[in-house]
Amino acid sequence: MTDERISERTGRHGPTIRDVARIAGVSIGTASKALNANGRLRQETRDKVMAVAREIGYRPNDMAQSLHRTRSMTVGVLSTDSFGRFTLPIFKALEEEFADQGIAIFMCNATDDPERERQHLDQLLGKRIDGLVVTARRSDKRSPVGPLPPGLPVIYVFSQADDEESLSLVPDDESGARLAVRHLAEVGCTRIACVTGPEHFESVTLRRRGYSQSLREAGLPEHPEYYLPGPWSEAWGREAVGLLFDGKAERPDGLFCGNDQIARGAAEALRERAIDVPGQVAIVGFDNWNVMTDAARPPLSSVDMNLAALGHEAGRLLMDMIGGETIRGLRRLPCTLVVRDSSSR
């Protein structure tokens, strides 16, 4: 559409919702629903209205509208992760999800500082947000944020509210561990060790449960000395290899590691001992963090927590809640296994 045709159709004072409706061939009510991402509409209608709005440069005065509607077209995201590695893919997904609905995101960070969290929350509530996403550095339980106005939709993502009224989305750590250990058994490992993170993380205990279960299912023995919790570091991966291999008659032939840093450290330590990976020992890490998986020698197989999918699902659920649905409980979303050289036999 040329500029001339637009100006002809939309008048001098900038396009209005009437212009959008007329050009899209829909009623003003339908145009409003589409532009405000509420009500039920067919996707084609919504797309057509949005395309026209974009084309003619329609820009609603959101601020003025928000006083007259119940919605501000904003949501708040409150993080306690300093915008860290785990929450990044979640932010990105939320952002994509909300941008498509014409909703803007207020982003706040309050790393382990309840006072700061309170201050951010006050600010967000002052902005009359339509909904709130709470996310964290680790998926463990936390006390619910608040107090909040009754009815404000809230969702915890990669974080769990210690409160049955809330909705929380986390990765399914236990089944993620099962994917890894089942795979190691399938490629022929019979003595599978687990080198993992600190046990006060819920993810560590859940993954241990998955590890034990999969060993049983595969008919493999579980040696207590093959379960090694420790720090989340490469140095721990290297150290654990020393504990498991040096001077031992019966050595593991498979390693399930709590994260990719541990897995990388383990791979390096095995390399230095001239123990072949994956020939003599197959390794699977956790997180699928490409900085680690790709730089390790060999590249690491790893369990992906699908944090982007978690973020997209959170965005969709929050939209449903903003639309009036009540959704509660704890949902664990599936992980997937990405196989690379470290376990390819």
Residue 76, classed as helix, strand or coil, is strand
User: Which part of the chain contacts a copy of itself (CB under 8 A), choosing from 87-95, 152-160, 168-176, 206-214?
Assistant: 87-95
| The pair of three-digit structure tokens given for residue 86, joined into one six-digit string | 């785990």
Please pick, from the candidates 71, 116, 142, 191, the single residue that binds a copy of itself as defined by CB under 8 A: 116
| N-to-C CA span, the chain | 58
Helix (H) or strand (E) holding 255: strand 254-257
The least distance separating a copy of itself from the CB of residue 92, rounded to whole angstroms, comes to 5
The least distance separating a copy of itself from the CB of residue 196, rounded to whole angstroms, comes to 18
Give the x/- contact pattern for a copy of itself in 41-80, rule: CB under 8 A.
-------------x----xxxxxx-xx----x-x--x---
d(CA 296, CA 15) in angstroms, rounded, equals 56
What residues contact residue 85 under an 8 Å CB cut-off, 6+ apart? 289
Please pick, from the candidates 130, 173, 234, 304, the single residue that binds a copy of itself as defined by CB under 8 A: 234
User: Which part of the chain contacts a copy of itself (CB under 8 A), choosing from 92-100, 154-162, 217-225, 316-324?
Assistant: 92-100
- Counting residues that bind a copy of itself (by CB under 8 A) gives 45
Question: Are residues 252 and 281 in contact, defined by beta-carbon separation less than 8 angstroms?
Answer: yes
d(CA 300, CA 302) in angstroms, rounded, equals 6
User: Which part of the chain contacts a copy of itself (CB under 8 A), choosing from 86-94, 181-189, 217-225, 332-340?
Assistant: 86-94
d(CA 227, CA 225) in angstroms, rounded, equals 6
DSSP state letter for 226: G
d(CA 176, CA 332) in angstroms, rounded, equals 11
Give the x/- contact pattern for a copy of itself in 179-208, rule: CB under 8 A.
------------------------------
Give the x/- contact pattern for a copy of itself in 121-150, rule: CB under 8 A.
-xxxxxxx----------------------
Give the x/- contact pattern for a copy of itself in 249-278, rule: CB under 8 A.
------------x--xx-------------
The least distance separating a copy of itself from the CB of residue 105, rounded to whole angstroms, comes to 6
Looking at the Cβ atoms of 110 and 255, the one nearer to a copy of itself is 110
Q: Does residue 113 touch a copy of itself according to CB under 8 A? A: no
Please pick, from the candidates 1, 28, 104, 327, the single residue that binds a copy of itself as defined by CB under 8 A: 104
The least distance separating a copy of itself from the CB of residue 9, rounded to whole angstroms, comes to 19
Antiparallel, parallel or unpaired: β 301-304 and 336-338: antiparallel
Q: Which residue has the tokens 């709590």?
A: 258
What is the SS3 assignment for 85-144?
A: CCHHHHHHHHHHHHHCCCCEEEEEECCCCHHHHHHHHHHHHHCCCCEEEEECCCCCEECC
Longest dimension (CA), the chain: 86
The least distance separating a copy of itself from the CB of residue 250, rounded to whole angstroms, comes to 29
Cis previous bond, 153, omega within 30: no
The least distance separating a copy of itself from the CB of residue 291, rounded to whole angstroms, comes to 7
Closest of 293, 126, 124 to residue 134, by C-alpha: 124
Antiparallel, parallel or unpaired: β 282-286 and 192-196: unpaired
> Which residues are near a copy of itself by CB under 8 A?
54, 59-64, 66-67, 72, 74, 77, 82-84, 88, 91-92, 95, 99, 102, 104-109, 116, 119-120, 122-128, 233-235, 261, 264-265, 291, 295
